[in-house]
């Protein structure tokens, strides 16, 4: 293959052979899209949808860099990896190098998400070193992998303490972490979790609540991760809450409901939501924190084409 011809050029040409590729997806309904046996190729997606490792393992193979290459070939411009902090430093550096070469932006990794702890809502100043340590470790990983965001889940409610005291304690704990992350150029994004299907008894559940916490912390390094799957279950009202908390939302994640699979498998109108956040000027990352409704290569093709259809607004 001549050096001037890239893998993406070859795949894109193959997509065009399917019937014009992305340019013709608007003429197809979602059912026709999902029945196609090859991925729709085309230019990079309008929004920075971020897959994760394993999502394209059937096409990309077991090697993580090859999975990144496949994702770039089909138009993805971002990536996220909840478990990045647990990977060996050499692998973190290898993945960061590949993402830079492929023009893929690194999204979130999880800095702290212990669903069983009440350490945030029970915070007192004597515990500040523990929270500084969490933040310092996250900053070091972020520097290696060129990440701007990390996920923080502030743990469980304490049934033995009034809610307002828990809110005040949580804000103080996050202020300690934010002071470290500001100096390191990292933003923690707080993820509200639904209490009905997946994560009972968590302190942070709703977008208005997260908005209040971010206002209280008052730091550019403490913002909201709006996971639309969780919020559809917990409170609905997705677009109005996006608008009301817009100044505090730095990151989105997706998953349809019910099932937490790719768009077009449930009740959420992702095409409408993607159009809305794009028109509002969102330039951040939309994390694909969900599974696939079908296994094998066919399931990966179905997922890619679902995003092509939803992105074609």
Question: Mean pLDDT across the stretch 21-45?
Answer: 77
CA distances from 302 to 18, 22, 261 (A): 15, 14, 11
Position 31 scores a pLDDT of: 84
CA distances from 17 to 1, 20, 266, 297 (A): 19, 6, 30, 19
The answer as to whether 1 is a domain residue is: no
Position 179 scores a pLDDT of: 98
**CATH number where 27 lies:** 3.20.20.150
Q: In which element (H, E) is residue 7 found? A: helix 7-17
- Of the candidate ranges 9-13, 17-21, 242-246, 263-267, the one whose mean pLDDT is the lowest: 17-21
Task: Inform me whether the pLDDT recorded for 43 exceeds 80.
Answer: yes
**Domain count across the chain:** 1
Give the three-state DSSP class for 193: coil
- Positive or negative, the CA dihedral 210, 212, 215, 217 is negative
Position 25 scores a pLDDT of: 55
CA distances from 226 to 82, 111, 115, 168, 280 (A): 15, 17, 18, 22, 15
Q: What is the mean pLDDT of the chain?
A: 93
Q: What share of the chain in percent tops pLDDT 70?
A: 91
CA distance linking residue 130 with residue 116, whole number of Å: 17
The answer as to whether 84 is a domain residue is: yes
Q: In which element (H, E) is residue 19 found? A: none
Domain membership of residue 202 as a residue range: 7-311
Q: What is the DSSP letter of 173?
A: H
pLDDT in tens, 224-235: 999 999 999 999
Position 168 scores a pLDDT of: 98
The answer as to whether 253 is a domain residue is: yes
The answer as to whether 54 is a domain residue is: yes
Task: Inform me whether the pLDDT recorded for 59 exceeds 50.
Answer: yes
The answer as to whether 161 is a domain residue is: yes
The answer as to whether 2 is a domain residue is: no
- Of the candidate ranges 5-9, 112-116, 177-181, 196-200, the one whose mean pLDDT is the lowest: 5-9
Position 30 scores a pLDDT of: 86
Sheet containing strand 285-287, edge to edge, reads 48-50, 285-287, 249-253, 222-227, 187-190, 149-152, 110-112
The answer as to whether 273 is a domain residue is: yes
Does residue 194 contact residue 233 with C-beta atoms inside 8 Å? yes
Task: Inform me whether the pLDDT recorded for 12 exceeds 80.
Answer: no
Question: Mean pLDDT across the stretch 32-55?
Answer: 93
Position 33 scores a pLDDT of: 85
Question: Mean pLDDT across the stretch 90-97?
Answer: 98
Task: Inform me whether the pLDDT recorded for 149 exceeds 90.
Answer: yes
Question: Mean pLDDT across the stretch 199-216?
Answer: 98
């Amino acid at each position: 293959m001549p050096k001037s011809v890239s893998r993406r050029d070859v795949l894109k040409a193959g997509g065009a052979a399917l019937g014009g590729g992305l340019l013709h997806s608007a003429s197809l309904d979602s059912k026709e899209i999902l029945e196609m046996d090859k991925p729709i190729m085309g230019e990079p997606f309008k929004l920075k949808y971020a897959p994760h490792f394993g999502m394209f393992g059937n096409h990309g193979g077991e090697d993580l860099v090859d999975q990144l290459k496949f994702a770039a070939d089909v138009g993805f411009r971002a990536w996220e990896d909840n478990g990045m902090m647990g990977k060996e430093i050499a692998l973190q550096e290898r993945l960061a190098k590949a993402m830079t070469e492929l023009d893929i932006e690194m999204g979130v990794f999880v800095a702290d998400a212990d669903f069983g702890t009440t350490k945030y809502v029970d915070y007192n100043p004597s515990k500040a070193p523990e929270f500084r340590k969490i933040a310092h470790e996250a900053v070091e990983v972020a520097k290696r992998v060129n990440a701007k965001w990390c996920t923080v889940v502030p743990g469980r409610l304490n049934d033995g303490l009034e809610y307002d005291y828990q809110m005040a304690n949580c804000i103080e704990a996050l202020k300690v972490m934010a002071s470290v992350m500001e100096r390191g150029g990292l933003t923690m994004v707080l993820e509200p979790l639904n209490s009905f299907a997946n994560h009972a008894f968590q302190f942070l559940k709703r977008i208005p609540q997260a908005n209040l916490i971010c206002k209280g912390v008052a730091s550019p390094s403490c913002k909201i991760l709006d996971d639309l799957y969780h919020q559809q279950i917990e409170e609905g009202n997705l677009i109005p809450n996006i608008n009301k908390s817009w100044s505090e939302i730095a990151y989105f994640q997706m998953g349809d409901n019910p099932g937490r699979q790719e768009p077009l498998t449930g009740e959420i109108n992702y095409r409408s939501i993607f159009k809305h956040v794009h028109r509002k000027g969102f330039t951040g990352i939309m994390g694909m924190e969900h599974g696939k409704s079908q296994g094998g290569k066919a399931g990966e093709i179905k997922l890619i084409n679902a995003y092509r259809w939803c992105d074609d607004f």
